[in-house]
Amino acid sequence: MTINEIIEENFELKKQYARAIETIARLQNKINKLEREIEYLKRDNEKLRKQRDTLLRGIKIALEISDKEKQDLHLRKIVEKLKEELGDQR
């Protein structure tokens, strides 16, 4: 190999290295964005689980109430509570 060929090969390797570094930076940015999204989804999922648990407890209690009107009233209160929680989250 001549000196010029070595210099040219070195130049090409530097270009490849720079492109690789840029690709790594872009991928790291995407990873960071996805990690933030995952944290948001975890928090959202936890809120939904709590709402589900509230609803299930309310339904179990309603099933134990023998009076149909009181059952309906109890379930309406639960739905109102969940709507309030949803409104607070927005």
Number of structural domains (the chain) is 1
Are 78 and 58 in contact, with CB atoms under 8 Å apart?
Answer: yes
The predicted model scores a pTM of 0.66
Q: Which amino acid is at 73?
A: L
Range of the domain at 35: 3-89
E strand map for the chain = none
pLDDT by residue (tens digit) across 18-50? Answer: 999 999 999 999 999 999 999 999 999 999 999
- Structure confidence at residue 85 as a pLDDT band (50, 70, 90): confident
Nearest to 57 by CA among 39, 40, 82, 37: 82
| Helix (H) / strand (E) containing 33 | helix 3-64
* Rounded mean pLDDT, 44-66: 92
